[in-house]
Amino acid sequence: MTSQGTTAPAFDAVREAFDDALENEELGASLVVDLWGGYRDVERTKPWTRDTIVNVFSTTKNVTALAVLVLVDRGLIDLDAPVATYWPEFAASGKENVLVRHVLGHTSGVSGWEQPVAMQDLYDLPASTARLASQAPWWEPGTASGYHALTFGHLLGELVRRVDGRFLTDFVAQELAAPLGADVQIGAREQDWHRITPVVPPPPLAFDLSGMDPASVAVRTFTGPAPDATVVNTPQGRRAEIGAANGHANARGLVDLLRVVSLGGTAGGVRLLSEATVERIFEVQADGPDLVNGAPVKWGIGFGLTPSPVAPFLPNGRVAWWGGWGGSLTVMDLDRRLTFAYAMNRMADGGLTLFDRLARYFTVIYQAL
């Protein structure tokens, strides 16, 4: 199957690379330049169409970070204030000095839930969020990053609720997606389920947690709770507000939303952020081996930064990015005013930040520029 959509002549090489991937590697995917193609099902009977959406796992974190930054820009949240300023219960168990920017930079020490916990427990938002407020940090906050694989959305979503009164799902829909006309949502509205392509889970993770120290931050995070890609294909999973990993979108929707970062805070005549707030994204919060995923990650406020050994195909400069389990990705390149997004249904094997299949696209995109 060849791709559908449009490209400017300068980006014909991108279409060729995408068509090759559809033929040999992808099941179904969308890529903005503005391309989509492949199939929504493993039987290859339902084509991926213009309005197909898919769970993008941790690419959702970009959306959640943007929501918090909008409240920062409105003067309702101070990045340098303790989380407990807005959420008093969070000060329990030695977290009184955890700052808002520590959560956005994955340095808060709260990267997972204490056992016992299962994915289904996260669906009960009040209970699971209260558990995070009561537990102690797993390392000294602010001293190192530990990827907040699933807690990122619960922690920041509660901040949104405390200062705005709305749940993260509603805030994103009403204050971000609607003004920008972006096909992006946290969870998935039931009336949109017919547009969703189920994800095809990857093989098991390459590393064996049973051979690691059970007291380590990595093991405690990856078992608190253990990731399960199949839950996003269930009705309960689709309804859940998990702002770290349960966004539904396609590449066009992600670009329509996140280009507001690449363009200095304004897109389509809508200003969501001041240039000063955008610049705060690039304040480095951690730069070194991450305690959870083990990768040398450079974290800004809410986003990964470059240069990045995890994604060496990304250019240096004012580039904010992050991606999701299986390979989805968004990149906001402020120096070139470029926003890139990719979403697919067949998840690549490997860890949480495996984007090898995207290197070919970036090569031809930057050559075209």
pLDDT of residue 363: 77
Closest CA to 152 of 111, 109, 92: 111
Structure-token match 């060729």, residue found: 16
State yes or no: is 58 an active-site residue: yes
DSSP 46-105: SB--TT-BEE-GGGHHHHHHHHHHHHHHTTS--TTSBGGGT-GGGGGGGTTT-BHHHHHT
User: Over the chain (369 residues), what is each successive 10-residue block's mean pLDDT?
Assistant: 56 61 60 68 91 97 98 98 98 98 98 97 98 98 98 98 98 98 98 97 73 93 94 97 98 96 96 98 97 95 94 93 93 92 86 62 74
Q: Give pTM, 2 decimals.
A: 0.91
Q: How many domains does the chain have?
A: 1
In order of 74, 92, 133, 158, the CA distances from 88 in angstroms are 21, 8, 9, 11
Marked catalytic residue, from 3, 30, 58, 111: 58
CA dist 339 and 263 (Å) reads: 9
- Alpha helix locations (H) across the chain? 12-24, 60-73, 100-104, 125-134, 151-164, 168-171, 178-180, 217-222, 235-239, 251-262, 275-280, 359-368
Closest CA to 97 of 57, 141, 148: 141
pLDDT of residue 361: 78
Structural domain harbouring 139: 4-368
Query: Are 129 and 158 a contacting pair, CB within 8 Å?
Result: yes
pLDDT of residue 60: 98
The CATH number linked to 257 is 3.40.710.10
